[in-house]
Amino acid sequence: MTELFKQYKKFSISEQVYRFGEEILDALAPRFAQIDKNAEYNQLKVIGAMQEAGVSEACLLGTTGYGYNDLGRDTLETVYAEVFETEDALVRPQITCGTHALALALMSNLRPGDELLSPVGKPYDTLEEVIGIRPSRGSLAEYGVTYRQVDLLPDGSFDYEGIRAAVGERTKMVTIQRSKGYQTRPTLSVERIGELIAFVKQIKPDVIVMVDNCYGEFVETREPSQVGADMVVGSLIKNPGGGLAPIGGYIAGKRECVENAACRLTSPGLAKEVGASLGVLPAFYQGLFLAPTVTASALKGAIFAANVYEKLGFAVVPDGQESRHDIIQAVTFGSPEGVIAFCEGIQAAAPVDSFVKPEPWDMPGYDSKVIMAAGAFVSGSSIELSADGPIAPPYAVYFQGGLTFPHAKLGILKSLQNLVDRGIVTVP
């Protein structure tokens, strides 16, 4: 018995499960090396942006009250603009989450009578209420903004004819979700997003393209804003916060789009000038600094999970070999028991709240019960090792995060051990 296995044994991992994991990991070495190269590229991008913007010790101090002349906040927004290669950015703790950032980008850039188009099918669950697909107080629909959707074709490709027909005089904005979210469609690569943007801009050059960039940041060496997106939007408790940001969201894009968002977040006339950063700036800066390697750890965890569960005969999206464009891994267990056993295993590997048993609950913004496993330092953070499973067919679990790969590995082995112990699966 190796010293390392003795450590796993303390977590009740059997020798069989451990060996199974090791064999899979051995075969993944070349892919992991490629992920490390990506992280290296993105690490230099982030350090370069911080140097270019002249980040100083004074930037780490916060402001209170109105937050006028907040050097750290304004410099951080310059850093984000540099990283995403955009004209401007809004990066604020007052943006409460990813949904809020997306709602802000939409509501501030659309006016009554405009139409929003999603050419990639149904958007993320929480956006249904923002848009008004499910009637909701304060939705875009209530303000007279209409919505159209063109689904992906059955093979996952863009329905170019459908999109051409859907772009009309009132189409003001196009929203493209990079990640699959709670769906089993493939995630879009930056390259494919670029092709789609070129197509819609060719039909209507002045349309504003927003990309929901959640879970995609730093997975590739390019971001959608480098292939024509007018705005990229995301959450700081996912990839770009590097696990350290305790709250926040960002919008990076064209100056005009960002200014509109700032006027809506604070107030017309005040825009970016107010919004105290309080004490969060060190975490925002250091989190962004760590984000490339943290994202790489999460990516390795996702690939490991895909290969483990694929080998055991479960449907996994993406599959074990496929190239990656976000950090989410979907595993379809086909039964509530599988989803629950998996999530309990992830929870049991956590540094915080490992003794807690997750239960399915009615989460705000979602239309079925969801079970969530998260023993996170930042509540609800999904760049930390976490798993969510809507308790509804096809009974798939969406697994993501891991600030370090060893933690992701432990979580995956714990989940597998749980499934083995409950007789749901046997390991060869």
Chain residues that interact with ligand PLP, rule: CB under 6 A: 97-99, 102, 124, 126, 177, 179, 181, 212, 214-215, 235
Least distance (Å) from ligand PLP to the CB of residue 328?
7
Residues 6+ apart with CB under 8 A from 170: 113, 114, 115, 146
Pick between residue 68 and residue 361 the one whose CB is nearest to ligand PLP.
361
Pick between residue 45 and residue 178 the one whose CB is nearest to ligand PLP.
178
Least distance (Å) from ligand PLP to the CB of residue 427?
31
The β-bridge partners of 364 are: none
CA–CA separation, 240 and 294 (whole Å): 9
Pick between residue 152 and residue 348 the one whose CB is nearest to ligand PLP.
152
Least distance (Å) from ligand PLP to the CB of residue 235?
4
Structure-block tokens of residue 180: 């699959």
Pick between residue 49 and residue 95 the one whose CB is nearest to ligand PLP.
95
Least distance (Å) from ligand PLP to the CB of residue 380?
7
Least distance (Å) from ligand PLP to the CB of residue 93?
13
DSSP string, 19-37: HHHHHHHHHHHHHHHHHHH
Pick between residue 102 and residue 131 the one whose CB is nearest to ligand PLP.
102
**Type and span of the H or E element at 411:** helix 405-421
Beta strands in 218-321 (DSSP E): 231-235, 249-253, 315-317
- With beta carbons less than 8 A apart as the criterion, state whether 316 and 332 touch: yes
Least distance (Å) from ligand PLP to the CB of residue 98?
2
Q: Where does 122-238 have alpha helices with state H?
A: 125-131, 160-166, 190-203
Pick between residue 212 and residue 230 the one whose CB is nearest to ligand PLP.
212
Residue 352 CB: number of other CB atoms within 10 A?
A: 12
Tell me how far CA of residue 168 lies from CA of 162, 171, 186, 200, 201, in angstroms: 12, 5, 27, 11, 12
Pick between residue 59 and residue 236 the one whose CB is nearest to ligand PLP.
236
CA–CA separation, 174 and 109 (whole Å): 11
Residue sitting closest to ligand PLP (CB): 98
Hey, what long-range contacts does 161-164 have (CB within 8 A, 24 or more apart)? Answer: 162/119, 163/117, 163/119, 163/199, 163/200, 163/203, 164/203
Least distance (Å) from ligand PLP to the CB of residue 126?
5
Return the sign of the alpha-carbon dihedral for residues 21, 189, 257, 152. Answer: negative
Least distance (Å) from ligand PLP to the CB of residue 224?
12
Pick between residue 271 and residue 373 the one whose CB is nearest to ligand PLP.
373
CA-CA-CA-CA torsion for 120, 124, 130, 131, nearest 10 degrees? 20
